[in-house]
Structure 1
């Protein structure tokens, strides 16, 4: 799986885009296949076209990044409490970027006045991708505070995801905010406000629990705008045919004095600002150009132009390519406006961004980055990644899932959403007219992706097959017809006969009523000794498996071992490399008693039957889940502190734990998913949300596949 580096900034003006692209250049130089992803667009002031980071990376590298999600769409999903759905979209974009890459550089959002959701979104993206976070900052008085805030924002159960910091704009006058400043407006006089060297800052950063990846010296030429950018910003008129993109502005001068007192301002890359009727200064500037001084250009103010005879006199100078612009505003107003011109590189200035990428790459700790990329780091599957994976796998399976509670509103909405997202072909059992009425009341129209089956029209065809299945239990045709009045039984017979691939119910029925027909008509698979269940618990930072929390009240040691093996296989089937913890009130050999002895015996059986599995027990829950506690209580265990499959000793413990975690921690739980049946039947909690039903349908479709 690709390594993800998420770059986030301490605030506006840190140069996040330039540093992100520079990191791509640095990794590319090392021969590392690198991808780039800007999951959520953030347009800069004045931007009207595509998101700039994505456009720039596409033009200056061979990478083709996906188009980002709009900030408006992202904040709308957050505002409607659909962060999970948003992060699934982020995962989809990331997977596109990672398809042919070993490392993906992910550019986060800048927490400025226009993005109040930035910190929350960045933290969500970091969790969803299980990304390592690199902070991008600039020297400023509150830098320590910003770093502390970032470390807290990206902290999780296993410590902080913040691995390093890059400091940009070292030695910038005024923090490097303004691209241009006029002479009397140059508050900082060109001096370095932060007279510190990268080595000094490196010593300061050495006290932090993360790596100082590099310090990027400030170079004004790397944000020098083209004359065309100045013209666009001011809305200036160009006089003559000079190439406005060929010359760049590194400083501006307002020429309000006599020619003799302005001789020193005629310097390379300088934009001269003066009224159009100052013909003496105009002639002097043209003479400087004829003498080989590469002025950036001349900006005439007040809406005035030199006399025609003066223009003719200076024609040769203008033919050297000297740009000449005209604005209506006064010299002072124009200079003040230019002093506020944003420092961001124009979105189509590919030559300058290419130089900036090289500059950043030259000042990063390449050996450390290369070593970091080489780490054998198996990313945890985040809840967003798990849900995205479910939808993708289910879509590929293309299975038919019957929903016996076909007129229940949540079930109808879930079937509609599954159809829209291509999760499965859902079959609703119920009165077609009533189902359509319920759908209309929710503002949806059930199309071809959802099938409605009237039980009255199909019930009789399953009477004889049901009798054949249950004849040994004394089943008669009349008894079968009576039992088939229950849609849950009818749906189970449809599954038994192969007319559908899976069944999901429980929004209106108890677990017992949902699974009893499955036990009777479907039966257990040849490889299972019993039917059990698991929940996929979507914790904030990862997905773990709980079993058995719904079916077996008090399994013996052999049954508990079977539950553990089934749960491990289910975890692996859905992308988790299982590390199984057999939960008890005691860890290791510290406790005694019938209950803990049962767990100890079950652990031995699992190891004997499946030596390929990582399993340990008995373990207390905290020893299994917390790295710190696991190291203390079971230091030699390969599972303690790292478990992702938790097998509970009985139904009382399992059901209580799953509901306590689900409700108290506001965790999404997907399931219960039944294990051990010949064909997939899955139960729902009667409090299930539409989202819960969608993901359970997806689970069922994958099981059927």
Structure 2
């Protein structure tokens, strides 16, 4: 990776997701350094947290960022949901719904920003492994490069390297795209040996940040805020002092004076006038250590004379605080207070930034952010993008099987989401009764009965004129228009609707035959074919042809591949096409593999710009390790996104095997090559399948209008 010229401004094209790999990693320090870097290279910066703690107090990291950087965004725009909302969703087994909520809030912010820095959830009250799983899933679905922070703490180098190996394995399991890993808070004496133990990994950098004791110490301000203390004296500068340790003063003054050290917070009951006075004197004496401050406990207050003395100190830098709790419980609470970066503590922030910036190669990160453009499309991203595109310019979709319960439930969801306009075909009274029985809200849906519609003779005449060369009479055409598939197809053909989805009840042939007869294929397309969008756990693949053409020849197979690549591109899936066969490269012989080999030649000649490989076996197309062995120099092997099967038998069985064995959602078949969109459903389709297919049909209709 080459260095940028000193005066060059890198074009950062990727957003970052910082997360701790366990609790208390110090990710806020890394967050600040990355925010500083982004602020120098982008106009409008956003900041986002997927989950924040519930409660009246604002999220401390959002508070820190918004105090330091003028984001100009509302507080509620900067997070996905609260921990209470997340817990309820998880308790109801709605993990995917939680991710959808986070994704929707993130995208709404991202649309208004040049770049967004995300900082993961905090490890509190739950499994550290679950937290990492969630943050990895969130980073993937938000389309960000992940930057995990690992805490060294009291671990020796062997333990740190073991944890690092475990983290790398987990990131690989989640198929995360990694920007870098940071090992934070490493004791100085371990730095050189740990660096040597990292080796020379080439996938992404691992940065080591040494421990800085002053950053790990809470300030008086941290303690005061955590304990809700009252301030008797002191100023803002005094509250930024770091507390090295606390001392409970329950002894006589001579013993107390032998006991104090630099940076001590003295905890003592409010009626111990002797300790209070001794503490004040030690602060001003050159012969005793400089204590950080005084914390008075209990319901008792200092005597009036001592209170008068304290109040007369005015705006002294020596802080005196008070709490209601007793000395024992106060000491326990102080012991639990963790250091945090406070927007008012400019000195501590500067120290933190200096430490990180001297140990993280920000120039290297900028280059990675410029060159490492994510092509990841997760199912949630895919679904979200589809819905937003459909809503942007609503299309009119006709559903011929209007009395089917699944169709009606899908129609309600689509209208709730304001995704499309819908017309149902069928007997209106029967459909209305079913809607009422299911208690659905479908007041705005249009219902047409082909048997009685005034459009029937118009459609019949159009069909007759188009097909009379086949000796079709007007009477035959009129009778055919009682069929919902023919009626729906004529609605699209004549502009009464933009697309049609059917097949929940009818066969594929019954759905698409009218389209072949009336709508026909686009110019330049030799064959109508189909694809399935296969939504796996972490990616979306395109499979074709699995529904229409039983045994395409080489020319047809090439045409299917090019159509499938175009379909993938239209739905933001970068097409890397694998032409599948039972052998890879030049190893196989036989009629079947020769057909694929010929199809590859035709496709490459027609589209030399397309990344296309074949013949190739499925394992070499999808598995990077297998690809390294079988086709090490291929741009497609191991990372294919479009899979073209040699025949219908192979394609149909494969998509069903993958769907049933992996739990993948199969959306389709989506027909490609028609002048206007008509799409088929499986007769075993779910409501979700119908919703997704209708939305895809709407987007195809938008493309046609363009």
Give the shorter-chain TM-score range: 0.7 to 0.9
State the Cα deviation string for residues 455-481 of structure 1 (Å, max 9, x = none). Answer: 434453433233223322333343233
The equivalences for 1:301-312 within 5 A come to 301-312=297-308
Shift of 1:71: 3.8
Count residues in correspondence: 676
Question: Residues 299 and 82 from structure 1, CA distance in 2 versus in 1: closer, same or farther, beyond 3 angstroms?
Answer: closer
Post-superposition offset of 1:696? 0.9
Out of 223, 233, 236, which is 2:226 matched to? 233
> Cα distance 1:252–1:524, how it changes in 2: closer, same or farther (>3 A)?
same
Question: Residues 591-620 of structure 1: CA distance to partner in whole angstroms, max 9, x if unpaired?
Answer: 222222221222222122222323232222
Question: Corresponding residue for 1:185?
Answer: none
TM-score, normalising length from structure 1? 0.86
- Measure, in 2, the Cα distance between the counterparts of 1:327 and 1:214: 40
Query: Contact 2:283–2:318 at 8 Å: present in 1 too?
Result: yes
Q: Give the Cα–Cα distance (whole angstroms) in 2 for the partners of residues 154 and 146 of structure 1.
A: 12
SS in 1 for 2:274: helix
SS at match of 1:300: strand
Match of residue 276 from structure 1: 270
- Match for residue 387 of structure 1 among 379, 383, 388: 383
Report SS of the residue matched to 1:41: strand
Q: What is the aligned partner in structure 1 of residue 482 from structure 2? A: 485
Q: Any idea what SS the aligned residue of 2:67 has?
A: helix
Correspondence for 1:42: 52
Change (3 A) 1:503 1:314: closer
Aligned mate of 2:120, from 72, 84, 108: 108
1: distance between equivalents of 2:185 and 2:371? 30
Indicate yes or no: 2:168 matched with 1:151. Answer: yes
How far the C-alpha of 1:120 sits from its partner, in A, is 3.0
Pick the aligned partner of 2:296 from 300, 316, 334.
300
Contact 1:223 1:345 in 2 (8 A): no
Q: What does residue range 21-60 of structure 1 map to in structure 2 within 5 Å?
A: 21-28=32-39, 31=41, 35=45, 37-43=47-53, 48-60=56-68
How far off its partner does 1:699 sit?
1.1
In the other structure, the counterpart of 1:12 is: 23
CA contact (8 A) 1:60 1:354 kept: no
Instruction: Judge conservation of contact 2:298–2:323 (CA < 8 Å) in 1.
Output: yes
Contact kept, 8 Å, 1:205 with 1:211, in 2: the verdict is no
Of 334-343 and 144-153, deviating more is 144-153
Distance 1:591 1:309, change over 3 A: closer
State the Cα distance separating 1:424 from its structure 2 match. Answer: 1.4
The 1:319/1:586 distance shift into structure 2, 3 A limit, reads closer
Residue of structure 2 in register with 1:205 after alignment: 198
**Who is 2:332 aligned against?**
336
* TM-score, length of structure 2 as denominator length: 0.86
Task: Kindly indicate whether the alpha-carbon contact (under 8 Å) linking 2:140 and 2:176 is maintained by their aligned counterparts in 1.
Answer: no
Determine if the alignment matches structure 1 residue 123 to structure 2 residue 131. Answer: no
Alignment match, 2:323: 327
Distance 2:236 2:639 in 1: 63
Query: What is the rounded CA distance, in whole Å, between the counterparts of 1:163 and 1:686 in structure 2?
Result: 44
Tell me which residue corresponds to 2:688: 691
Question: 2:356 aligned with 1:360, yes or no?
Answer: yes
SS at match of 2:547: coil
The corresponding residue for 1:285 is 279
Indicate how the Cα distance of structure 1 residues 504 and 165 shifts in structure 2: closer, same or farther if over 3 A, else same.
same
Deviation for aligned residue 1:224: 2.6
- Tell me how far 1:506 sits from its aligned partner: 1.0
Q: Which moved more, 1:310-319 or 1:539-548?
A: 310-319
Alpha-carbon contact 1:35-1:97 (below 8 Å) kept: no
Distance 1:48 1:244, change over 3 A: farther
Aligned to 2:447: 452
Q: Which deviates more, 619-628 or 123-132? A: 123-132
Aligned-pair CA distance for 1:236: 3.9
CA distance in 1, matches of 2:33, 2:333: 30
Q: Choose from 148, 166, 175 the match for 2:182.
A: 166
Match of 1:401 among 397, 402, 409: 397
Would the alpha carbon gap of residues 323 and 130 (structure 1) be closer, same or farther in structure 2, given more than 3 Å must change? closer
Distance 2:612 2:302 in 1: 87
Instruction: Find the residue that maps to 2:500 and give its secondary structure.
Output: strand
Across the aligned residues of Structure 1 and Structure 2, the Cα RMSD in angstroms comes to 3.3
Distance in 1 (alpha carbons) for counterparts of 2:346 and 2:377: 37
Match of 1:66 in 2: 78
Residue 4 of structure 2 corresponds to none
Q: Judging changes above 3 Å, is the alpha-carbon distance between structure 1 residues 577 and 399 closer, same or farther for their aligned structure 2 residues?
A: same
Indicate the residue corresponding to 2:679 in structure 1.
Answer: 682
Task: Pick the aligned partner of 1:3 from 4, 7, 14.
Answer: 14
Which of 502, 509, 518 aligns to 1:521? It is 518
State whether residues 88 and 384 of structure 1, in contact with CA within 8 Å, keep that contact through their aligned partners in structure 2: yes
Residue-by-residue CA offset, 1:484-530 (whole Å, 9 max, x unaligned): 22222221111111100000111111111111111122122222122
Aligned-residue offset at 1:135 = 2.5
Gaps of at least 5 residues in structure 2 are 1-11
Q: What is the distance in 1 between the residues matched to 2:38 and 2:197? A: 26
Match of 2:3?
Answer: none
Select between 343-352 and 378-387 the one with higher mean Cα deviation: 343-352
Deviation at 1:650, TM superposition (A): 1.1
| TM-aligned CA deviation for residue 661 of structure 1 | 1.1
Give the direction of change, closer, same or farther, for the CA distance of 1:460–1:267 in structure 2 (3 Å limit): same
Instruction: Give how far 1:242 is off.
Output: 5.9
Q: Structure 1, residues 216-244: CA drift from partner, whole Å, max 9, x if none?
A: 423335653344x5344334444468669
CA distance, structure 2, for counterparts of residue 392 and residue 349 of structure 1: 42
Measured in 2, the distance between the counterparts of 1:99 and 1:330 equals: 51
Q: From the superposition, tell whether residues 124 and 398 of structure 1 become closer, same or farther in structure 2 (CA, over 3 Å).
A: same
CA distance in 2, matches of 1:616, 1:479: 48
Matched with 2:9 is: none
Q: Is the 8 A contact 2:52 2:81 kept in 1?
A: no
Q: Is 1:260 aligned with 2:260?
A: no
State the Cα deviation string for residues 636-661 of structure 1 (Å, max 9, x = none): 43333332221111111111111111
| Partner residue, 1:410 | 406
Query: What is the aligned counterpart of 1:618 among 615, 624, 631?
Result: 615
